[in-house]
Chain A
Amino acid sequence: NAGVTQTPKFQVLKTGQSMTLQCAQDMNHEYMSWYRQDPGMGLRLIHYSVGAGITDQGEVPNGYNVSRSTTEDFPLRLLSAAPSQTSVYFCASRRAGQRMNEQFFGPGTRLTVL
C-alpha cells in the first residue's frame, strides 16, 4: 500500500493563478480531508468528504474547491491564488465508524504564492 499520496511536493504560483493539488489513497477509506498548516496555527480543516460525491466545508474553506468523484481521489482546487494561501497543505484519510479511527496523512504540498 502506498497510503496517502500527494502531488506536487512543492509549488510556486503567482497571484491569480489557479492550480489543483492532487491527493489519492489506496486504503479504501471513506473519510478524506484537506488541512493547511501555518506557523503557530496548527492544522486547520479546509474541506472534507465522507464518501464519493459528498463534500462539506471545514474551518477555512474560502478560496478552495473540492470534489470527490471516486473513493480514492480528493483533489483541492485553488481558483485564484492569493499570498494568504501560502502554506503547507496536508491531505488525510481514515475509515468511517463509531470508533475514532486513525487518520493517515500524506507527506504534504508546500505552496508559495508570490
Chain B
Amino acid sequence: TQLLEQSPQFLSIQEGENLTVYCNSSSVFSSLQWYRQEPGEGPVLLVTVVTGGEVKKLKRLTFQFGDARKDSSLHITAAQPGDTGLYLCAGPPHSGGSNYKLTFGKGTLLTVNP
C-alpha cells in the first residue's frame, strides 16, 4: 500500500493570510488529485496533476506536483472563510495496471476565521 502523508493535520488561520499544505509519499504516483470536503458532505475534486513539476492554478489556489512525482503542495493566497474544509490528496498506484484504486491521505483540516 502506498501511503500519502499530509501535513499539517490541522490549520487555523485568519482571513487574508496565506497558507501551504503538503502531501508527501515515499512512492512515485502517476498522478495526484486534491479534493475538498465540507462538513456533512462528500469530497469534491479540485484538481488533478499528472506531470512532474506541473503547476496548476484555480483562482487563489495553486497546486504543484513534485518533480519526482512523490509529493504535492497546495498554496492558498488570501484565504477566505469559504476555504474552510478538509483538504485531501489522493492517487492511484504507479506500478502498472489499472488506476481504479485510489489511496487517500488523512487530510488537512483548514479553518479560516473571519
Contacts and interface: CB of A to CB of B under 8 A. Distances in A.
Query: A and B from one assembly?
Result: yes
Interface of A: 4, 31, 33, 35, 40-45, 48, 50, 58-59, 90, 92, 96, 98-100, 102-108
Interface of B: 1, 9, 30-31, 33, 40-45, 48, 50, 88, 90-92, 98-102, 104-107
B99 A50 contact: no
Nearest to B48: A100
A88 to B, nearest CB: 9
A103 B107 contact: no
Contacts of A41: 106
A100 B88 CA distance: 16
Given A90-B42, A100-B31, A103-B45, A43 B100 contact: no
Contact of A107 (B42, B48, B92, B98): B42
Nearest to A32: B100
A58 B31 contact: no
A47 B1 CA distance: 15
B1 A59 contact: yes
A107 to B, nearest CB: 6
A31 B107 contact: no
Contacts of B33: 100, 102-103
Given A100-B91, A100-B92, A102-B45, 17 more contacts: A4-B42, A33-B102, A35-B104, A42-B105, A42-B107, A45-B101, A45-B102, A50-B100, A92-B42, A100-B31, A100-B33, A102-B33, A103-B90, A105-B42, A105-B43, A105-B44, A107-B41
